[in-house]
Amino acid sequence: MLKTQAVQWNLKHESSARNTEPSRDWASTSSLRSGLPSQRDEGSCESLEQLTMHSLDNVLAESPAELQDFSAARDFSGENIAYLRAVVAWKAKWPDGEPDESQLHGLYDAALDIYTDLVSAKDAQFPINLCAAEGHHLSEMFEQAARVIYGEIITNSVLPFASGPRKSDDIELHRFSGRLGYWGKIPSGFDKNVFDSSFAEIKYLVFTNTWPKYVLERSSCRTSSSSSGSLGK
């Protein structure tokens, strides 16, 4: 259900992302605005204008690190922003035409890193929260290769702070550890769009949960800074 909502949201708002009449978007995001100041001052109006998918897209494209830091420290969901960033960077590696065999294996290997770092319940310290259907889809695409590379060691993702050996340190170094690349059979159906549905699902979660909190905090910081400046004059 959540996956369907995410896809429908993107389709609905894609054509109106640059609409200059904010009232249309405000009506559909009234629940997101409940935590913002009720006063119609300059700061709150600016915050309301930022509660759009287009504004989130801009931050993800231009300055995602700050949002990821906020998400990890305040919303305890930094893995969601990390996943969005990783998928965007991965898709940018695809050639304009069809990749040759060597390129395809390299792209699959990089996708496998995303899966083990951020999706797999067996490997990721903090796996993203996907619906069962999407989790199964990615598992079918990458789980067998992940077990070939990393074996059956299971990270305690339910109790990440439990004592005992932690595989998370290794996971953080996957891209830098010089591990052997995966050169086995690539599942049919693997292509540039393999992460699209999960990307839309996680992006929708960020938009409805993390993004309003982030906008509110930034608005509060600007208001406090402005008030302090006025008092100092």
Closest CA to 95 of 87, 107, 84: 107
- What digits encode the pLDDT tens for the residues 176-186? 345 678 889 99
Answering whether pTM is above 0.75, one says: no
The reported pLDDT for the residue numbered 232 is 52
Among candidates 203, 228, 229, 221, which has minimal Cα distance to 37?
A: 221
Contact 218, 39 (CB under 8 A): no
| CA–CA gap between residue 67 and residue 45 (Å, rounded) | 21
Distance (Å, rounded) from C-alpha 229 to C-alpha 233?
Answer: 7
List pLDDT tens digits, range 144-160: 999 998 887 655 544 44
Q: Convert the pLDDT of each residue in 69-96 to its tens digit.
A: 999 998 889 999 999 999 999 999 999 9
Contact assessment for residue 79 and residue 127, using Cβ atoms and an 8 Å cutoff: yes
